């Protein structure tokens, strides 16, 4: 029993069987404790009335035969021990002589009430003389012992048989409906199972035709979303590997080529210095790339777990401006800043990398004579940090992609870079529970705004 359908079917049948058994025993308990005494009392009252009316009848046998014809089994014993049955005989006439004598002497017999406790079927349907009620009957100054019980065969007539067949038909139809319903439920699960196998074999191009509004439908929608997301991640992974391979191979080829040129004995000193400078720049580029890749790797989900520390954002930016003042001056740029005293909780090294990336980008992509403006302030219940430059800017369609790994805007391709800096910035800010937005116009400049929760 490996399939979900067979498990569901067997479980349903087991529940139906178990429910029937439990219902049977509950009905039996109810019969024994409630219906059985009531049934005895009701039949005792009927027997008493029959005995009462019998006293006024001329022909006792005819009267008893007529009474039996409406659904009763009667057993009569006179004082001489003569026994007569009306309305069908009992299967077992297991009544003691003492019981008969007690009824003849004027007592009543509660055989239904005192019948041994058996199951409902054998208890109610037991066609035994002992399972009856008895009353004394007097006719023409002769005393009789009258024993009575309903004639079950007459009571269960054609309509009851019809009802029984209807009950069986309802059970069978219910069973068929359960089978169909189970198949309808299992079908989309099988489709999901087939789709998962196809993903493992053929990749992420899987179509799943399940349109439901229940939990299985939501599961299918989540599965589609997951497959779509996995496909996007796989595409990003392939692109990432391709870009990394290219960005590593290019400087390696340059280093290899210029190293061969340095082996020439006819090379002038000036050319030698030029080639060495190229090799150093390419080595530095590879070093930067490897550091950024390590940083990105550490920022993967569950890959970077650090204790939160108080970080002096203002102090970090002051030190950073002091460190890069020569670079700003070398590029003939002016600098303005307004730094309120603010602190956040986070990782000092990662936040320092954010400010450094944004500042070096503002320098790298600025214009000669341009300006860099840095503002740190409290904005409502958040800390706001903005970097604004008057550089080359971005086209409208490029803003949505600048945080993607290895993406470089067309206007920035003339500058050296790996295309990883802003990816690191975005992931670090996300890691700290903040947000980053960009506003830019081509040839007018760019503003990066960061919002962080305060301490």
Q: Please indicate, yes or no, if residue 127 is contained in any of the structural domains.
A: yes
CATH of the domain at 346: 3.30.565.10
Band (414; pLDDT cuts 50, 70, 90): very low
Judge whether residue 43 has pLDDT over 80. yes
Domain boundary (125, 156, 187) is at 156
Residue 184 belongs to a domain: no
The rounded distance, in Å, linking the Cα atoms of 59 and 71 is 20
Look at 93-97, 140-144, 250-254, 451-455 and tell me which has the smallest mean pLDDT.
250-254
Q: Is the pLDDT of residue 1 over 50?
A: no
pLDDT surpasses 80 at 432: yes
> By residue range, what is the domain housing residue 145?
4-156
Q: Is pLDDT above 50 for 69?
A: yes
CB contact at 8 A, 336 and 372: yes
- From edge to edge, which strands make up the β-sheet containing 109-110? 83-86, 72-78, 142-150, 133-139, 109-110
Assessment of whether the complete model's pTM goes beyond 0.75: no
Give the chain's domain count. 2
pLDDT digits (tens, 9 = 90+) for 371-405: 999 999 998 899 999 999 999 888 877 787 788 76
pLDDT at position 119, please? 53
What CATH number corresponds to the domain at position 102?
3.30.450
Q: Kindly state the average pLDDT of the residues 228-236.
A: 74
pLDDT higher at 307 or 437: 437
Determine the average pLDDT of the residues in 124-130: 81
Local confidence band at 98 (pLDDT 50, 70, 90 cut-offs)? very high
Going from the C-alpha of 376 to that of each of 200, 315, 338, the distances in angstroms are: 50, 11, 6
Q: Is residue 265 part of a domain?
A: no
Q: Which of 156, 182, 202 is the last residue of a domain?
A: 156
Q: Tell me the C-alpha to C-alpha distance, in Å, between residue 279 and each of 55, 243, 259, 274, 346.
A: 134, 21, 8, 9, 37
Overall average pLDDT of the 160-180 stretch: 75
CA pair distance 93, 72, nearest whole angstrom:
16
CA nearest neighbour of 390 among 346, 336, 345: 336
**Residue 37: inside a domain, yes or no?**
yes
pLDDT of residue 220: 72
Is 291 inside a domain boundary?
A: no
Question: Is 173 among the domain residues?
Answer: no
Q: Give me the DSSP letters along 106-172.
A: T--EEHHHHS----HHHHHH--BTTSSEEEEEEETTEEEEEEEEE-HHHHS-HHHHHHHHHHHHHHH
Last residue of a domain, one of 156, 173, 196: 156
How high is the pLDDT of residue 247? 64
3-state secondary structure of 400: coil
Q: What is the DSSP letter of 385?
A: E
Grade residue 44 by pLDDT with cuts at 50, 70 and 90.
very high
For residue range 318-376, what is the model confidence (pLDDT) as tens digits?
Answer: 999 999 999 899 999 999 999 999 999 998 888 998 999 899 999 999 999 999 999 99
**pLDDT averaged over every residue in the chain:** 82
396 lies in some domain: yes
What pLDDT is recorded for position 109? 95
At 294-311, the pLDDT tens digits run: 776 666 655 455 668 899
Within a domain: 179: no
- Mean pLDDT of the 225-254 span: 74
Mean pLDDT of 214-238: 75
Does residue 451 register a pLDDT over 80? Answer: yes
Q: Which residue has the higher pLDDT, 121 or 454?
A: 454
């Amino acid at each position: 029993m490996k399939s979900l359908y067979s498990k569901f079917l067997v479980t349903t049948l087991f529940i139906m069987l178990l429910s029937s058994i439990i219902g049977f025993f509950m009905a039996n308990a109810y019969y024994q404790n409630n219906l059985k005494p009531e049934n005895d009392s009701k039949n005792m009252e009927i027997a008493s009335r029959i005995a009462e009316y019998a006293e006024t009848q001329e022909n006792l046998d005819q009267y008893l035969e007529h009474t039996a014809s409406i659904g009763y089994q009667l057993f009569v014993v006179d004082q001489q021990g003569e026994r007569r049955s009306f309305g069908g005989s009992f299967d077992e006439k297991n009544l003691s002589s003492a019981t008969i004598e007690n009824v003849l002497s004027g007592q009543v017999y509660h055989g239904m009430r005192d019948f041994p406790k058996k199951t409902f079927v054998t208890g109610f349907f037991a066609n035994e003389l002992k399972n009856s009620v008895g009353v004394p009957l007097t006719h023409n100054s002769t005393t009789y012992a009258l024993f009575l019980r309903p004639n079950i065969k007459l009571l269960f007539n054609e309509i009851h048989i019809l009802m029984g067949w209807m009950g069986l038909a309802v059970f069978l139809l219910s069973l068929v409906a359960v089978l169909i319903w189970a198949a309808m439920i299992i079908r989309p699960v099988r489709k999901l199972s087939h789709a998962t196998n196809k993903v493992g074999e053929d990749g992420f191009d899987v179509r799943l035709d399940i349109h439901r509004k229940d939990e299985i439908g939501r599961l299918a929608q989540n599965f589609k979303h997951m497959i779509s997301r996995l496909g996007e991640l796989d595409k990003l992974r392939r692109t990432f590997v391709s870009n990394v391979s290219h960005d590593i191979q290019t400087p390696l080829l340059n280093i290899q080529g210029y190293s061969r040129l340095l082996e020439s004995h006819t090379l002038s000193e000036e050319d030698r210095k030029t080639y060495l400078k190229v090799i150093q720049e390419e080595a530095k580029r590879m070093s930067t790339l490897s550091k950024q890749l390590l940083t990105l790797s550490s920022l993967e989900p569950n890959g970077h777990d650090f204790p939160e520390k108080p970080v002096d954002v203002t102090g970090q930016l002051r030190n950073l401006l002091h460190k890069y003042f020569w670079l700003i001056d070398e590029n003939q740029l002016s600098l303005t800043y307004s730094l309120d005293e603010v602190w956040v909780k986070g990782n000092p090294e990662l936040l320092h990398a954010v400010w450094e990336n944004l500042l070096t980008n503002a320098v790298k992509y600025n214009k000669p004579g341009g300006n860099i403006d840095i503002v740190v302030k409290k904005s409502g219940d958040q800390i706001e940090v903005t970097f604004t430059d008057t550089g080359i800017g971005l086209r409208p369609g490029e803003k949505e992609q600048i945080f993607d790994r290895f993406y470089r805007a067309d206007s920035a391709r003339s500058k050296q870079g790996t295309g990883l800096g802003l990816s690191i910035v975005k992931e670090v800010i996300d890691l700290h529970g903040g947000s980053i937005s960009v506003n830019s116009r081509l040839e007018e400049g760019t503003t990066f705004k960061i919002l962080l929760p305060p301490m």
